[in-house]
Structures are given as C-alpha cells and as structure tokens.
Amino acid sequence: MVNAIVVATVCFVLFLATHIIVFHKTDVRRKFRTMLFIAIAFCLLGCGLILFISGGTLQIQLSNTSARYLLYLGILLFYFSLSYCYFHTVVVIDRSISVRLLVEIASARDKGLTEQEIRKRYSVRGKFRDELRDLVFLKRVTEDKGVYKNTAQGQRHARIVSFLRSYLNLSTHR
C-alpha cells in the first residue's frame, strides 16, 4: 500500500507539472480533453511503476507496527476519498450549466431545442443573481443598494484566479 500511495503521489505531481507547462507554453484548444490525456498517461506510467516495483527490489520495507498504522490511514483515506468523489459528482450535476442544458434539451417535447427556446428555459441572468447571492453569503462580496463590492477575501480570490487564468492561457471570458 505504501508503494501505491508513493507512486500515485509522484505521478500526480508529474502530471501537475506537465499540465502547467503544456498549458503555459502552448495554446491548447480542447483543454479538458488534453488534461485528461495527460492524467491518463501518468496513471499508466504509475501502473507500470507499480508492476516494476512489486516485482523488483525497490519495495519499501516498513516495520509491522508502522505498516499497520499506514494501512489504517490508507484505508481511511480511501474510504473518505470515495465520499469526496461522490459529493463532487453531486455538485457537478447540480451546478453545471451544460448538464442543466442537456436535461432541458433531453426533456423537450421534440427532443430538441433552438437557441431561443434554450434561452427561455434557462436564464443566465438568473444564474448571475444566484451566484451573487452565494458570494454575499460566503462573504466574498458585499451588497449595498444593488451595488456589489469585493471584500478583502473576494479581492484576493479575483487576483489569484486572474493570474492563474493568464498563466495557464485559459479563457478570460468564462
């Protein structure tokens, strides 16, 4: 298990570095797909390393007690990581605009919608209102007579995201 955790962590760090370099140096068009391909490539590298390590002499040796505690820790991590993955799925299903539009198109009478019909069924302005309500609740933004202003937390958030968007060549108009 220790080998698995070490290899997975190393491969993840390599994935992260590659992803940042590729996105920074090149103008990637299909961003999510590219990121997924990089992740799969490093996952396969990890699988190869696991097979190599467990068959060779690089196996990490631990005392019985340490190994037992690490096993418990690993299982706990694995168990709660499943809850995170599940919750993340629920959040994406609830919050994603694309998922909402897909549900609207699939549930339409003719199983299809024009752009005008989509605009009637889903309001982007309503989305902005919801987001602003969330930001006020999260204390990122304050509202005074219909005028919104960033708090210190909101300013920090905006600056970090602006920097990352420009560094990773991500669209600034999302």
Partner 1 sequence: MMSQIIACLITAMICVGAHMIFFYLQRRPLQFESPVRKLLYQGKVVLAIWVLFAPLVVVFQNMFEPTGMDRVIYQGMTGRYASLVFATAFFFYLFFLYLTAYYMVDRSVSSRIMIEIETSPDGTIAFDRLSQAYDVDAKYRDQLNGMLQGGFVVREQDTYKCTMKGLFVARIAYFFKTVLRLGAGG
CB of 73 to partner 1, least distance (A): 11
Footprint of partner 1 on 14-43 (CB under 8 A):
15-16, 30-31, 35, 39, 42-43
Q: CA angle at residue 101 from 100 to 107, to 5 degrees?
A: 90
Q: Which of 71, 73, 120, 139 touches partner 1 (CB under 8 A)?
A: 71
Report if residue 165 touches partner 1, rule: CB under 8 A.
yes
Q: Exactly one of 47, 58, 60, 73 binds partner 1 (CB under 8 A); which one?
A: 47
Beta-bridge mates of residue 141: 150
Q: Quick one: which of 21, 51, 60, 73 contacts partner 1 (CB under 8 A)?
A: 51
**Cβ-count burial of 173 within 10 angstroms (0-12 exposed, 13-18 middle, 19+ buried)?**
exposed
Residue 63 contacts partner 1 per CB under 8 A: no
Kindly state the greatest CA–CA separation across the chain: 69
3-state secondary structure of 28: coil
106 counts as binding partner 1 under rule CB under 8 A: yes
